[in-house]
Amino acid sequence: MKIIGDKISEIIVIEPKVFGDERGYFLETFQLERYRGIGIVSPFVQDNISRSRRGVLRGLHYQLKYPQGKLITVIRGKIFDVVVDIRRGSPTFGSWNGFILNDDNHVQLYIPSGFAHGFCVLSEFADIHYKCTDYYRPGDEFGVCWNDPELAIEWPNLGFDVILSEKDNNNKMLSAIPLEFLPLL
């Protein structure tokens, strides 16, 4: 396993060892002691899988009272994954970073609680596996607008129209979200 640093220090980018031959490949996507050793110490309580088609953009989501840390793995396809620091008092507040995750590079992304997260599907479809440190609670979910000009996220040149849910289409710009609706550092 190889750990790659990130400009937002709490984000962990992981390149797991992949053992491949003419039959296919094998890799561990989680091993408690090894992942604790790189700083992922919160217990995971829920696993999710989502499937989305090309052009679907999900996010930028976060939970406030019950924040979730997430370990993201793309099982099939290719996505551009974005993490935004929205923690009040953080020296990197409003900073973002984007990562290409796919079933060829097998890169995993650990996002601690307190960050907004989203992705756009670049392949025909993508299956994404999330390990979460808290339960999903629909009433506690909030969102930041994916194309907030103040964040200036450099989404890849998509070459297609972005497909948003109604909920994500109504997300607010970060500066329009009252402070009490943003997580603390």
User: pLDDT tens digit string along 117-156?
Assistant: 999 999 999 999 999 999 999 899 999 999 999 999 999 9
CB-CB contact of 57 with 162 (8 Å): yes
Q: Within a domain: residue 5?
A: no
Domain membership of residue 53 (yes or no) is yes
Rounded to an integer, the average pLDDT of 65-79 is 97
Q: What is the mean pLDDT of residues 35-64?
A: 94
Query: 168 in a domain, yes or no?
Result: yes
- Cβ atoms of 123 and 78 within 8 Å: the answer is yes
| Bond into 109 cis (ω within 30) | no
pTM exceeding 0.85: yes
Cβ contact 89:35 at 8 Å: no
CA distance 2 to 90: 27
Q: How many folded domains does the chain comprise?
A: 1
Confidence band of 109 (pLDDT split at 50, 70, 90): very high
Report the pLDDT value the prediction gives residue 3, as an integer from 0 to 100: 61
From the number of C-beta atoms within 10 Å of its C-beta (0-12, 13-18, 19+), residue 47 rates as exposed
Catalytic positions: 61, 130
pLDDT above 90 coverage of the chain, percent? 76
DSSP 50-119: EEEETTBEEEEEEESSS---EEEEEEESEEEEEEEE--BT-TTTT-EEEEEEETTT--EEEE-TTEEEEE
**pLDDT for the residue numbered 6:** 65
Supply the CATH number for residue 174's domain: 2.60.120.10
Helix (H) or strand (E) holding 33: helix 32-37
Mean pLDDT of 67-93: 96
Q: How confident is the model at residue 51 (pLDDT cuts 50, 70, 90)?
A: very high
* Domain-embedded: residue 6: no
The radius of gyration of the chain from alpha carbons, rounded to an integer in Å, stands at: 16
The answer to whether the beta carbons of residues 79 and 121 sit under 8 Å apart is: yes
- pLDDT of 50 reads 97
87 domain-assigned: yes
Count of other CB atoms within 10 angstroms of residue 154: 10
User: Rounded distance, CA 44 to CA 62, Å?
Assistant: 16
Residue 152: give the domain boundaries.
43-181
Please check whether residue 17 lies inside any domain of the structure: no
